Structure 1
C-alpha cells in the first residue's frame, strides 16, 4: 500500500486488515487510560476521536492549527486527525524556548492550539502566555486559565475525511533552529507523502520494511520526519512497532528486550543516550538487521557500538543527509568492515538518492561550479522541496536558484559523484573541517558522549567535550588534540548543560553565547 491521504491513513490500514501491534513506553498523553499496546483499528479509532476534538474546537478547511506538547507519537496522531478535518497542522517541539515558541505561534496565527498544562506553565514562568496566540487553546491534561480542557470536547461527531489538492499545504513543521529562530516549513501531500513517504514505502531489498520486522524508533515527533515515517510505518505493516518517547536507557531497556527490534531508527542523540544498552548482557539490539539515522551526523564510536551489538551476520547502518525542506538528499550504507576502514570519513554523505535527487557544488561567492575535490556550497534539485517558509517567503526565495535549492552546507564531491560534508557554512572554521575534528576527538576520547567544535570569528575554534560527569582531564585532552588543527582550551560539560533542539542537535549559537558572551561565527550564515 502506498500512502497518500494522511487524514484517512489509519482507517485505510485498518480496513485492509493490517495486523501491526504498536508498543509504547508510556501511554499517549491524549489517551492516558488507553494503555501501552494498540492495534491498528484502535489507533484509527483514536485518530477519529481526535478529529472530532479538532472539529468541535473550530478546526476545518482553510484553518491552521498548532500542536505543542511533550514528545510522543500522539503528536503525529493529532496531526493526522487535523488533516482529516481539512485543517493544516503545525507540529511544534516542546523543547523550544518560550520566546521562540511565541515567535512561531505569532507567525502561524493558529485557529486552535492543543497543548499541556506543563508547557503553558513553563512558558508563563518565562513571561510568555502561549494561550494568547490562538483563537482557542485546548489543554490536554488539566485546567489552566484561558484554556479549555480536552474533556469538554469528547463525544462530538467525527468529521468525514476532507480531501485536498495534492499541491495544497498539508503540514507545517519547523527546522532545527540550531542557529536562531526556526523556519516554519510548509509541505504538501505531493512533496512529503507522494515523493518521500511513497517512495520509501516501495518494496526494496535490504533497506525496505518487511512484514516480519519489529520496527523501533526513538525520535522527535514534532519533526517532519516522523510525519513521513508514520505514513511509511503504517502502510508497510510490519509485525510490531516499538515507540520510544524518551532517551533514558533504563526506561527503554525493558521494552526493547521484550520486543527486540529488527530495524531501529533514531535521532543521533537517541543513539548516543541509548548506547549503554549495547554492552549489556541482555543486549536488546541482537536481532537488528538495519539501523537508520537521520537529522544529523553519527560519530564513528557510536556507529560501531551498534553494529557490533547486532548478532546478525551482516547488519547495516543507513544514514541519510537532507533537510526539513527537502527530505533525504543522499544515503550511505555502513558495514562493520567499512566503519573500521573509514574512520575519518563518517561524514561522507554518500550518493544522491537515485532518480529523486541531483546535486552540484558551487563556489560560495561566484556560484560557479567547483571541480571534484574542491569544497563548495551544495545545491540540490528535488521534487520533494517544500512549498514555502510560512511568513518568510522572501527568505525562502533567496535560497532558490532557479530549480536548485541552496542547502547552506559546504561539501566536497568525489569523482564518483559522492559527496563528503565539511561543515554547515555558518559553522565552518577557516581551516579544516569541524565535523572531521569532532570525529577524531570522539575516537580519542572514549569517555566523551559528544564533542562539539564551535568556530568563532577571529579566534581559535572552541572545543566542547560532553561527558557523563562534565569533567575532562588535561592529560586526556592533550592526547586527544595531538596533530589536529589548533583549538582553544576545551570546555567540559555534562549532557544536560548543553542547549539542544527537540531532535538533540546542539544549539551552537546559544552554546557559544553562553560560554563566551558572543555569537560571531567565521561563516556568514547567509543561507541558514
Structure 2
C-alpha cells in the first residue's frame, strides 16, 4: 500500500486512529518513531521504535482492554501522566470500537472529576500518579471501572494483568458517529468536550497533506504538542502516512530540546507557539540546533513576529519558512500562511492567513453591529466546512448557540483585508474598552523589549488595560525602557510583574486571561 492510497481510503471511509498504525505499517513498516522519553506502559520497549512495532503495541493494548471488559460504544476517559503512550492507548481504545475521551494531565482533580461525571460512568484509563491526584474523588460512583496503564492501586485493574490476552478483530465505528472526544482549552471556565467523528478527522488532514507533499525526501518530523490534543491525531496521521521519521518530544526545557534537535536534525518542527517562544534562546546556541530545520509549523495561536524571525534566522536551510495555521478544536485548520526569513520580522502578527485550497475551510466575518466589519470595527469570525466538530458532548444546546446552519462562530473577532487576509484581533470575551486589539499591543511591545518573556493585557477595575508581564529569569523590569516601548499606547495602566511560573496556563500553554484578571482583582482587594 502507498501513502497516497491509504490517504484516499481515509478520505472515503474516515480516519480511525485504531487502524492508523496498521495502515501506516502497510505503507512502510520500517518508518522510525523516536521518543525523548520511555513509554510508561511499555517501559522496556526503548525509545526507538518502528511503525510496525508501534502497531503491534497498539494491537496488544487493544487485546488487554478487551480482556478487561471494555466493549464497543463504551466511553473510555484517558487521564494520565503526560507520555507518548497516551496516543498509543487512545488508538487501542479506538481499535475495539470504544470512544476515547482525552483529558489533559494538566487538569486539576476537580475539573477532571466534572468532565468524567459528564461522560456518565465511563471506564477510566489512568495511572497510579493520577489516581493519587484523584484520591478525594468518588470514582466508584462516577465510573464503570478503573484501569491503570502503569502503577497498581486498590480498586483498579492493571493492564499488566492482561498481558498475553488473545488478539481481537478491530471494530470500525460509523463514519459520522463519535470516535474521539477532546476538550477545549478552558480559557474561559470548565472545558467543553468536543466530539470528533472519523469523517471530521479525515477531512482535517487535507490542508497539511498538501503542504507535506512539497517535501522531496522522507526527513524527520519533530512533534512537540500535547499528546491528548485533537491536533495530535492529524500530526501523527500525516507524518506516518507520508513515511516521515517521527520524533515525539515530551520534554520542553530548552536544554533537552536542543539535545534532541542536534541528534535527530528534523526537517520540520511542529510545536505550540509558547513553546517556540520559550526556545528562542536556542537560536544563539553555537551548535545550531535549528540549523537543519526547513519548516516551522504552529497550528494553535498566532505567534509573535519576533519569535518567527529569530527561528527562521537560526535555520541554515534555503527557503526556510514558518507555516502558521489559525484554527481551534471545534473547526480544525481554518486559514493559513507562510512566512519567510526576509519578511518575518516585518509581519503583522494579527494577519493569520488566507483561505486554503479547494476543499478546505471557508471563512467569513460577520458584523457585530450592522456596520461592515473593518479594522476599527471588527466582526465575528465564522468557519464552515465538513471538518467542524459534531457537537459538545452532553451540551448540545451550548453547541447550537455557536452554530448558524453550516457556519460556526469561533468566538474571535477580526476583519479581512482587501487582499483577503484574515486578521484576528482578539477573543470577544477578552476585548478591553479603548484597545483596538490586545494581541496587537502585546505583539508590538514584545517585539521592542527582548527581556520580556510574556505580556498579557487584562481589564482593570476601572476597565483600563493593565499589562501583566514576565521577564527572562524573572529579572526586575527596567521602567525607563518600558515607558519608551509603550509610548504609542498611552491608555495602558502601570505594568504588573509576576513570576513566569505563576502565569495560569491551559494544556496548550495559552494564558488563561480570565483567571489572570481574577487573580489581579484579588491582589487589588488584598491591598485595600
Question: What is the TM-score when the length of structure 2 is the normalising length?
Answer: 0.92
- Distance change (3 Å), C-alpha of 1:432 and 1:58: same
* Partner residue of 1:201 out of 209, 230, 241: 209
Equivalences for residues 412-491 of structure 1 within 5 A:
412-430=415-433, 431-456=435-460, 458-470=462-474, 471-491=476-496
Q: Is the 8 A contact 2:207 2:333 kept in 1?
A: no
Specify the alignment match of 1:522 in structure 2: none
Equivalences for residues 25-40 of structure 1 within 5 A:
25-40=36-51
- Distance change (3 Å), C-alpha of 1:372 and 1:357: farther
- Distance change (3 Å), C-alpha of 1:210 and 1:458: farther
Cα displacement (A) at 1:382: 1.3
Q: Is the 8 A contact 1:114 1:138 kept in 2?
A: yes
Tell me, in whole angstroms, the C-alpha distance in 2 between the residues paired with 1:486 and 1:372: 19
Q: Is 1:379–2:382 an aligned residue pair?
A: yes
Q: Is the 8 A contact 1:73 1:245 kept in 2?
A: yes
Tell me, in whole angstroms, the C-alpha distance in 1 between the residues paired with 2:21 and 2:483: 55
Cα displacement (A) at 1:153: 2.4
Specify the alignment match of 2:176 in structure 1: 167
Specify the alignment match of 2:108 in structure 1: 97
Q: Is 1:151–2:160 an aligned residue pair?
A: yes
Q: Is the 8 A contact 2:300 2:327 kept in 1?
A: yes
* Partner residue of 1:403 out of 397, 402, 406: 406
**Superimposed CA distance per residue, residues 377-423 of structure 1 (whole angstroms, 9 cap, x where no aligned partner):** 11111110111000100000011112211111100111122111110
Cα displacement (A) at 1:45: 0.8
Q: Is the 8 A contact 1:211 1:236 kept in 2?
A: no
Of 433-442 and 476-485, more deviation after overlay is shown by 476-485
Specify the alignment match of 2:189 in structure 1: 180
Q: Is 1:14–2:25 an aligned residue pair?
A: yes
Cα displacement (A) at 1:199: 5.0
Specify the alignment match of 1:524 in structure 2: none
Tell me, in whole angstroms, the C-alpha distance in 1 between the residues paired with 2:259 and 2:265: 10
Specify the alignment match of 1:261 in structure 2: 266
**Matched residue SS, 1:222:** coil
Specify the alignment match of 1:67 in structure 2: 78
**Matched residue SS, 2:103:** strand
Q: Is 1:226–2:242 an aligned residue pair?
A: no
Cα displacement (A) at 1:234: 1.1
**Matched residue SS, 2:17:** coil
- Distance change (3 Å), C-alpha of 1:151 and 1:253: same
Cα displacement (A) at 1:134: 1.8
Tell me, in whole angstroms, the C-alpha distance in 2 between the residues paired with 1:381 and 1:157: 44
Q: Is 1:513–2:489 an aligned residue pair?
A: no
* Partner residue of 1:319 out of 303, 312, 324: 324
Q: Is the 8 A contact 2:392 2:398 kept in 1?
A: yes
Q: Is the 8 A contact 1:201 1:235 kept in 2?
A: no
Consecutive unaligned residues in structure 2, runs of 5 or more: none
Cα displacement (A) at 1:259: 0.5
Specify the alignment match of 2:290 in structure 1: 285
Q: Is 1:492–2:497 an aligned residue pair?
A: yes
Specify the alignment match of 1:115 in structure 2: 126
Cα displacement (A) at 1:173: 0.3
**Matched residue SS, 2:79:** strand
**Matched residue SS, 1:436:** helix
Cα displacement (A) at 1:373: 6.9
Cα displacement (A) at 1:109: 2.5
Consecutive unaligned residues in structure 1, runs of 5 or more: 520-528
Cα displacement (A) at 1:73: 2.4
Tell me, in whole angstroms, the C-alpha distance in 2 between the residues paired with 1:117 and 1:130: 14
Cα displacement (A) at 1:518: 9.3
Specify the alignment match of 1:216 in structure 2: 222
Equivalences for residues 121-140 of structure 1 within 5 A:
121-124=132-135, 127-130=136-139, 132-140=141-149
Question: What is the TM-score when the length of structure 1 is the normalising length?
Answer: 0.92
Tell me, in whole angstroms, the C-alpha distance in 2 between the residues paired with 1:135 and 1:424: 38
Specify the alignment match of 1:349 in structure 2: 352
**Matched residue SS, 2:454:** strand
